[in-house]
Structure 1
């Protein structure tokens, strides 16, 4: 890895944490929800999901929005379980990589996510590794908490400014091409992690 890098920003889902969006799509489909993903590719078909990830809705407002998309009432637990069905297990070798890198670089997390998912994957991390996810990073940034989602360029500017990072000294790792292209415009170096990529080989 280039010696000019001083900072690394990791995405979470698809990079450090295994996710399968089809599991949530199927779970909501079984509850009678219309297709939640736009035809032709990844992207939410209903604003309630985007507003939740941008921090514009409380948990209760999100659940109410979901109820309005379903043909019959369901419990809050059922909604949360369907929404979190996409979250699988962490990549242990990648978690260990972050630990090693943090000895020589300033390491951060930046994820498009929401309060319900945060509680779920933070709990999963603590049960798996016996310490908090946030302890891996100098700071973790979540779209619902900063009010900005990737690939909005303003979201990257926020993280860089808040952490006091220079873009040209920062490496950004994400599994979304759209996020990578937007990050490049800030001047950051990037790694687009595809399903075929071996993250460890980049370092």
Structure 2
């Protein structure tokens, strides 16, 4: 569900993070934890789903230490160092194309820029490490404001998270574009009057930003 942007009213751009700014592989963490635990991947995926580890962490119901301890308990390995768990968890993040960051930086002079992501603190720290290593600004420096699910205790596609962003940043929905790779997230934003753009392969965010 993709709307054509009305550039005559456009003042604000809200970006998703995963598969919009940085490519991700959602299957990688489970695959890597399965290898570490010497368990079948399907079994680890079932455990993950049953206990909603991902959602609990990304909505801030558990913190970093509780998340890591939960992983140790569920996969029955209390010897794993924090770094081992963080590294496996961060395999979801693929190489970040620097052109996307450069294009977003160019847009700062014309639009108010925001980030809205279902994510976790471990992932955000890693993305910022990658950006710093590329001599680029951190996410918090790149955008006027960042809205992380674990901070606001809400997740897309809940309408409440979009209302929260609009209210907190003082944005008018119709003057705001939202770029996300998830159809449900796009639908929820569009229903609130936001100009919602579904970023879908083989296109990347750069294609959608060409003419604004």
Q: Same fold (TM over 0.5)?
A: yes
Q: Out of 54, 63, 70, which is 1:65 matched to?
A: 70
Counterpart in 2 of 1:55?
60
- The answer to whether structure 1 residue 151 and structure 2 residue 157 are counterparts is yes
Tell me how far apart the structure 2 counterparts of residues 190 and 147 of structure 1 sit (CA, whole Å).
22
**Does residue 173 in structure 1 map to residue 182 in structure 2?**
no
Match of 1:162 in 2: 168
Q: Which one of 68, 81, 87 corresponds to residue 81 of structure 1?
A: 87
CA RMSD of aligned residues (A): 1.9
Counterparts of 1:137-148 in structure 2, within 5 Å, are 137-148=143-154
Which structure 1 residue ranges, 4+ long, deviate > 6 Å from structure 2? none
Q: CA deviation digits over 1:64-85, x for unaligned, max 9?
A: 1111210333222211111111
Question: Larger relative CO (CA 8 A, sep 6+): 1 or 2?
Answer: 2
Check 1:37–1:133 CA distance in 2 against 1; reply closer, same or farther (3 A cut). farther
| 1:89 CA drift (Å) | 2.0
Deviates more, 1:28-37 or 1:3-12: 28-37
2:95 is paired with a residue whose SS is strand
Give the match's secondary structure for 1:35.
helix
User: CA contact under 8 A between 2:119 and 2:148: conserved in structure 1?
Assistant: yes
* Structure-1 residue corresponding to 2:45: 36
- Could you list the runs of 5+ residues in structure 1 that have no partner in the other structure? none
- Runs of at least 5 residues in structure 2 that lack an aligned partner in the other structure: none
Alpha-carbon distance between aligned partners in 2 of 1:45 and 1:119, rounded to the nearest angstrom: 27
String of CA shifts for 1:8-57, please: whole Å, max 9, x gaps.
0001110111211222121011133633379xxxx955322111100111
Could you state the TM-score of these two structures normalised by the residue count of structure 2? Answer: 0.87
